[in-house]
Structure formats: C-alpha cells, structure tokens
C-alpha cells in the first residue's frame, strides 16, 4: 500500500526543495525551483493563485496634467543572512511573485527601504539579487536598517545615490533619505555594529529622531525651484514626513520644514515605508500613505495616530504572513494617488485620493472587524 503523505509533509518537502535551490541563489536556479514547486502544486490538485490583487482602475478620467499610470511597491523586507532566517527571504520572494503576476505590469516598482535587517553586505546583496527578478524597473529608497552599519557605503555601491528625482508621465517624483540622525555614536565610542544595533530598535533612548536634515532640504528647494506648481508631486520617504509618536522612531523631526517646502504645490502625495502598517494622513495639501512590510507588521502607536487612518485588522499571531503584504498605487489624470494594500491572505483594501481629500466623508475603506492591537 502506498504510504500516505499528509499535506504538511508534502508542503515541507516542496519547501525544502525550494530552499535547496536557493542555496546557490541565482536567477536561473531560482526560476527552475519555483517552476518545479508550481508544477508540484498543480499536480497535487491544489488551486494555484499566482497573485491575489489587481490594481484598481482610475476613476478620474476627466483629464489633467498626467497620463494615468500605476506603480507597485514592495517595502521593509528586513533580510538577515540566508542561513539565519529564511522566512523573510520567502516573504520577499512572494512579493516579487505578486508584482510579476500583475497584468498589465506597473510602470515601475518602488522599493521602500529596510531591504536589510542589520545593514550587512551579504543582506544587501541578497536583497539586490532577489529584486533583480522583478520584470518592471525598480526605484530604490534607503531605510535606517540599510544605512547605519557603514553609513550608506554598501547601499550606494549597489543602488547609486540615495537622494534623487525623476519625471514620469507628468508627475515629478522625489526620493529622500529621511533617516538621518545626530551623531550619538562617536562620543560614546560605539562600533559600527553597536551603532546599527541601536538604530535597529524602535524606541532606543540614546538616538535623536530621524530627520531629512538641512543639506537635503536645501537640495529639495533647488530641485523643486524648476518645477511649476501645477505639476503633481509624489515624494518617496522611508519615515513618514510628519510627527507620529515621538517615543518611537516613527517621528520625523524636521517634518514641518519639509512640508513648508512642499506647500506651493496643490497636489502632493508622500508614500513612505518604515511603519509597516496601513497608515493614512493628510496635512493641508499633502496626502500620506504608509506601505506594508513583507517581514512583519508593527503595532499602531499608543498615541498620535492620524485621524484618517483606518487600522488594518489585527494580524493572526499564528500566521507569520498576516499583516504583511505589498501593493500598488494608481496615479490619476489629476495627479492624485489611490493606494491599494495587498494584504496577504485577506481582501485588498483601497485608500483613495477621494477618501483622503474629503477628510473621510467619501469612499471610506472598510473598518476593521477586530481590534488592531
């Protein structure tokens, strides 16, 4: 009689095959292994869902300065070295699969920072290699976990300058390095590793808060000086460019100064990583959308949650993928952004420009049915 193999046994056999393939992670080896895993799933009669969300089409067809388009995002993968943690590797691979399955493909993919957990060269190289499997072009942003071991040296060698701007289909995009801190390490005689470990904590008391900083604010002023106010702006920053709960590093110290630089533009959207949760805010002319993490969800801060935020449902503590995900953003003709949260294992949620612009009277996303945290 044939030996019975439970679903778990088969799952672990497939998983082991996948990870044997990942030991020598290169593009060809990975494709071979993942195709084999997909074939095994089909042969076993499992229903195979290549992806679980579709970018929402843009409602605003009234015309405007922008040719409507979509970009996808993946953020906060927090990769350790492969031999220490394979779960975060798998979760980043899952996000890459999600985005590659989008049809039509997004114009580009924003990576929102914290590619690595402790800024180590091996972690950043592993992330860089996995992101090479994305079909669409990738725009990179840096996070504090990528930065504080060598103050950006390895990240720059892999991805180029951390602060830059570009124009796409009528939108001016700006990418900032918003995780600068005042030097707390030299006087304390800390090693680079100690500095990195300190910044990696959510609420370590020796740090100053994150800031964009004076030199970069000057750069931003110069960069925007040549952009007409009628041009929609989209700013990518790792930390939210507002002040959200000072005891944790969710707070951006010079947020008011940065917002003042953006004030001249009636249509500004900030897309940020770092907070690992559905997070929505509006300050005057600026709409803010936080991105999901592929690694873990942070709890909401005990105070200071922006009024427009509709919290995501409490993640299942027994499901390490829950509360994580990736997403996309549809840019309408007027230049405002509808964001889709592709929460793994749950229905996708759209947070639209109509909702943010109305101050929560229109098009509100669904409220959570469980308390978040």
CA distance 209 to 83: 33
Residue where the block lists tokens 């990240």: 155
Any alpha helices (H) in the chain, and if so which ranges? 7-22, 27-43, 87-100, 121-131, 144-147, 153-159, 192-199, 214-225, 255-262, 353-358
Q: Which is nearer to Fe ion, 252 or 330 (CB)?
A: 252
Token pair belonging to 305:
């949650």
Instruction: Output the DSSP codes for 254-279.
Output: THHHHHHHHTT-S-EEEEE-SS-S--
268-272 β-sheet, strand order? 164-168, 171-175, 233-237, 268-272, 286-290, 280-283
For Fe ion, the closer of residues 70 and 77 by Cβ is 77
Cβ atoms 276, 235 nearer than 8 A: no
| Distance (Å) of CA 106 to CA 31, 217, 327 | 21, 30, 11
The least CB distance from residue 230 to Fe ion, in Å, is 33
Q: CA quadruple 23, 197, 212, 231: dihedral positive or negative?
A: positive
Question: Which chain residues interact with Fe ion by CB under 5 A?
Answer: 76, 114, 143-144, 274
Other Cβ atoms less than 10 A from the Cβ of 167: the count is: 10
Peptide bond connecting 104 to the previous residue in cis, omega within 30 degrees of 0: yes
Q: Which C-beta is closer to Fe ion: that of 21 or that of 273?
A: 273
Question: Min. distance of Cβ 113 from Fe ion in angstroms?
Answer: 6
DSSP designation for 37? H
Which candidate, 137, 149, 74, places its Cα nearest to that of 106?
A: 137
Query: Which is nearer to Fe ion, 274 or 287 (by Cβ)?
Result: 274
In the bound complex, what is the minimum distance in angstroms from residue 117's beta carbon to Fe ion? 9
Considering the complex, what minimum distance in angstroms separates the CB of residue 76 from Fe ion?
4
Nearest CB to Fe ion, comparing residues 117 and 350: 117
CB of 248 to Fe ion, least distance (A): 11
How far apart are alpha carbons 186 and 222 in whole angstroms?
Answer: 32
Give the nearer residue to Fe ion in terms of CB position, either 70 or 293: 293
Closer Cβ to Fe ion, 238 or 267, answer by number: 238
Minimum CB separation of residue 194 from Fe ion in Å reads: 18
What minimum distance in Å lies between the beta carbon of 14 and Fe ion? 29
* Minimum CB distance to Fe ion smaller for 18 or for 324: 324
DSSP secondary structure letters along 185-221: STTTT--HHHHHHHHTSSS-TTSPPBB--HHHHHHHH
Least distance (Å) from Fe ion to the CB of residue 78?
Answer: 6
């Amino acid at each position: 009689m044939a030996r019975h193999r439970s679903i778990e046994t088969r799952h672990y056999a497939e998983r082991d095959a996948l990870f044997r393939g990942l030991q020598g992670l290169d593009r060809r080896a990975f494709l071979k292994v993942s195709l084999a895993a997909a074939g095994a799933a089909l042969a076993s009669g499992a229903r195979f869902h290549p992806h679980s969300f579709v970018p929402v089409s843009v409602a605003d067809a009234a015309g405007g300065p922008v040719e409507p388009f979509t970009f996808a995002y993946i953020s906060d993968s927090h990769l350790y070295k492969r031999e220490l943690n394979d779960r975060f590797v798998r979760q980043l691979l899952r996000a890459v699969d999600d985005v590659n399955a989008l049809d039509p493909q997004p114009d580009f993919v924003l990576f929102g920072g914290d590619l690595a957990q402790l800024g180590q060269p091996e972690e950043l190289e592993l992330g860089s290699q996995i992101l090479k499997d994305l079909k669409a072009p990738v725009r990179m942003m840096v996070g504090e976990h990528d930065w504080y071991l060598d103050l950006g040296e390895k990240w720059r060698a892999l991805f180029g300058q951390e602060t830059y701007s570009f124009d796409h289909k009528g939108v001016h995009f700006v990418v900032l390095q918003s995780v600068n801190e005042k030097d707390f390490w030299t006087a304390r005689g800390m090693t680079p590793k100690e500095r990195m470990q300190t910044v990696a904590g959510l609420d370590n008391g020796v740090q100053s808060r994150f800031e964009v900083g004076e030199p970069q604010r000057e750069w931003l002023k110069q960069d925007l000086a040549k952009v007409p106010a009628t041009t929609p702006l989209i700013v990518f920053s790792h930390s939210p460019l507002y002040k959200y709960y000072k005891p944790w590093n969710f707070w951006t110290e010079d947020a008011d100064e940065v917002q003042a630089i953006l004030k001249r533009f009636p249509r500004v959207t900030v897309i940020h990583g770092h907070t690992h949760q559905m997070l929505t805010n509006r300050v005057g002319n600026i709409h803010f959308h936080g991105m999901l993490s592929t690694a873990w969800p942070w709890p909401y801060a005990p105070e200071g949650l922006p009024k427009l935020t509709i919290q995501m449902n409490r993640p299942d503590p027994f499901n390490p993928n829950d509360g994580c995900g990736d997403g996309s953003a549809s840019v309408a003709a007027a230049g405002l952004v509808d964001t889709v949260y592709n929460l793994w294992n749950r229905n996708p949620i759209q947070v639209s420009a109509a909702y943010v612009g109305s101050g929560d009277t229109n098009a509100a996303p669904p409220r959570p049915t469980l308390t978040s945290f």
